[in-house]
Amino acid sequence: MILVLCPGCQTPLDSAEAEANAAELRVQRQDGGRFVADPVICMTGTMAQPGEILYGSDHLEKVPRTGQVEDISALERLPAGTRCVPTVGGVTIHPPT
């Protein structure tokens, strides 16, 4: 657990951020998307043979620049036609229709 806020302890900014996050997640689910928190790499292949990297290559490029390594989730073998859209704090995956 990182932080716990009781509703009475939240600032107006905290409340607005919580409402925005909840609305964004509702919209993503309604559009058939699935939210995954950063850092994540979406790819049509595998780590050994990545195929098309749909989103997340910026995380890999950041490692040599900053010297910092994050635990990166790899979503492998996504079907062709999948869309991965960066959103605040993560990525939304939209499977092909």
pLDDT in tens, 14-61: 777 777 777 766 666 666 788 887 788 899 999 889 888 887 777 667
Contact call for residues 93 and 83 (beta carbons, < 8 A): yes
Name the DSSP class of 79. P
Residue 77 has what pLDDT?
A: 94
Q: Name the helix (H) or strand (E) containing 27.
A: helix 12-30
- The whole-number average pLDDT for the span 55-77 is 78
Pick the closest to residue 33 from 95, 97, 96 (CA basis): 95
State yes or no: pLDDT of 96 exceeds 70: yes
Confidence tier at 4 by pLDDT (50, 70, 90): low
With contact defined as beta carbons under 8 Å apart, do 59 and 42 qualify? no
Question: Which phi and psi angles does 49 have, rounded to 5°?
Answer: -135, 85
Give CA–CA dist 61/57, Å, rounded: 6
